[in-house]
Structure 1
Amino acid sequence: MKPVRSLARVMLSGIFVVSGARNLQNPGRVVPAAKPVTDRVAPLIERNWPGAPTDTETLVRVNAGVQLTAGLLLASGRLTRPAALVLAGTLVPTTAAGHPFWNTDDPAARAQNQIHFLKNLGLFGGLLLAAADTEGRPGLRWRAGHRIGHSRRSVERAVRTARREAKIAVRSAATARRLPG
């Protein structure tokens, strides 16, 4: 299953690597579409990270850089689960800015934006699957539960052993008292 997983990750990350590199080099081509979204996000950024840049071009570059980096991590098989989550997070503003079909009056443009919106929704689903993929290894929840169960059984064994040893000690003490000595 490893080759299929590796190929799927490369295929899934391809669009993020290419568009991230393209938007990092030339953010001006998407700035007009991104402006309505960045204008709504800028106050949140200013409130939580004072002094952080909030101009649209910089935010487009940051998003592009994150997509490029996380896409390369996903494609290379390194930190795949966090990379997939980060890519899913960057996909939300990208989709909202780039394909707002609900704001388009032209039927042809509306249909085109709706198709791209749904495509991005499918990519989002694929990224969630990649983020949940443990590659056949037990997940964190199972490992924690297994470790807790293992610890509980160890404690129960220790208690049984201590009881058994206490009974033996009591018997030995009783036997020692009965012996003339």
Structure 2
Amino acid sequence: MKPVRSLARAMLSGIFVVSGFRNFQNPGRLAPTAKPVTDRVTPLLERANPRIPTDTETLIRATAAVQVGAGLLLATGKLTRPAALVLAGTLVPVTIAGHPFWKNDDPAARNNNQTHFLKNLGLFGGLLLAAADTEGKPGLRWRAGHRIGHSRRSVRRAVRTARREARIAVRSASTARRIPG
């Protein structure tokens, strides 16, 4: 199954690496489309840290750089689960800004944006699957639950053994008292 996972991750990450690289090189072409979303995010960023640059082109470049980095991590199989979550997180504002089909009056433009919106929704689903994939190894939640269950069974076994040994000791003591010496 490893070759399938590797190929699927490379295929899934390709769009993020390529478009992220293009968007990093030329953020100006996306600025008018992204501006409504960046204008809504800017106050949140300024509250979090006033020194963060909040102009639209810088935010586009930052998103693009994150997409290239996380896409490469996903493609190479390094930190795949966090990389997939980061890519999914960048996909939300990109999709809302880039493909608002609900705002289009022109049926052709609406159809085009709706198709791209649904494509990004599918990518989002693929990224969620990649983020949940443990590669056949048990996840932390399972391991913790398994360890707790193992500990409980060990304690129960120890209690049963202690009871049995106590009963044997009581029988031995009562037998020893009955035997005249």
Q: Shift in Å at residue 43 of structure 1?
A: 1.1
Report the residue type matching 2:83 in the other structure: A
* Distance in 2 of aligned mates of 1:62 and 1:100: 22
Match of residue 142 from structure 1: 142
Q: Shift in Å at residue 173 of structure 1?
A: 4.3
Deviations 1:119-163 (Å, cap 9, x if unpaired)?
Answer: 111111111111111222233333222222111101101111222
Match of residue 32 from structure 1: 32
Deviations 1:67-126 (Å, cap 9, x if unpaired)?
Answer: 111100110011111111111110000011111111122222222111111111111111
Match of residue 86 from structure 2: 86
**If the length of structure 1 is used for normalisation, what is the TM-score?**
0.90
* Distance in 1 of aligned mates of 2:36 and 2:150: 53
Partner of 2:36, secondary structure, is: helix
Q: What is the number of residues matched between the two proteins?
A: 181
**If the length of structure 2 is used for normalisation, what is the TM-score?**
0.90
Match of residue 163 from structure 2: 163
Q: Shift in Å at residue 178 of structure 1?
A: 5.7
Partner of 2:145, secondary structure, is: helix
* Distance in 2 of aligned mates of 1:65 and 1:177: 84
Flag structure 1 segments of 5+ consecutive residues without an equivalent.
none
Report the residue type matching 1:114 in the other structure: Q
Match of residue 105 from structure 1: 105
* Distance in 1 of aligned mates of 2:158 and 2:122: 52
Report the residue type matching 2:6 in the other structure: S
Percent sequence identity is 82
Report the residue type matching 2:60 in the other structure: V
Flag structure 2 segments of 5+ consecutive residues without an equivalent.
none
Partner of 2:54, secondary structure, is: coil
Instruction: Give the 4+ runs in structure 1 shifted more than 4 A.
Output: 172-181
Match of residue 52 from structure 1: 52
Deviations 1:9-41 (Å, cap 9, x if unpaired)?
Answer: 100000000111111222222111111001001
